[in-house]
Amino acid sequence: MKKSLLLTFIITFIGIILPYKAYSVEISVGASTCESWIERNPKDDPNFTIGPAFLYGPVLSLKINERFDVTAVYLYGKFNDTTNGDKVKIRDSELSFGAGLNDYLKVIAGVKYMGFLNSDTKYIAYGPELGLSATLPIVYKINLLASVTGFYLGGKEDDGSTKKGYNEYGVNGTLSLSYYIVPASTTISIGRRFQYFKSDYYKDDSWMKNMFYGSTLTATYSFDI
Q: pLDDT tens digits, the chain, 225 residues: what are they?
A: 445 544 554 555 455 545 554 557 889 999 999 988 888 888 777 787 887 888 999 999 998 887 889 999 999 999 887 667 778 899 999 999 999 999 899 999 999 999 988 888 899 999 999 999 999 999 989 999 999 999 999 999 998 888 899 999 999 999 999 999 999 999 999 999 999 999 999 877 788 899 989 999 999 999 987
**Residue 143 CB partners (closer than 8 Å, separation 6+):** 135, 136, 137, 177, 178, 180
Residue 111, sorted as left (phi over 0), alpha (psi -120 to 50) or beta, turns out to be beta
Q: Residue 203: its pLDDT value, please?
A: 78
Q: Residue 2: its pLDDT value, please?
A: 46
Q: Which domains can be identified in the chain, with CATH numbers?
A: 28-207 (2.40.128.100)
Q: Residue 81: its pLDDT value, please?
A: 73
**Residue 76 CB partners (closer than 8 Å, separation 6+):** 55, 56, 57, 89, 90, 91, 92
Q: Identify the DSSP state of 83.
A: T
Closest C-alpha among 218, 223, 225 to residue 30: 218
Q: Is the distance from CB of 187 to CB of 179 less than 8 angstroms?
A: yes
Q: Residue 5: its pLDDT value, please?
A: 46
| Alpha helices, DSSP H, located in the chain | 2-17
Distances (CA, A) of 96 to 9, 59, 128, 129, 206: 11, 12, 10, 8, 31
**Looking at 15-85, which runs of residues are DSSP E strands?**
26-42, 48-63, 68-81
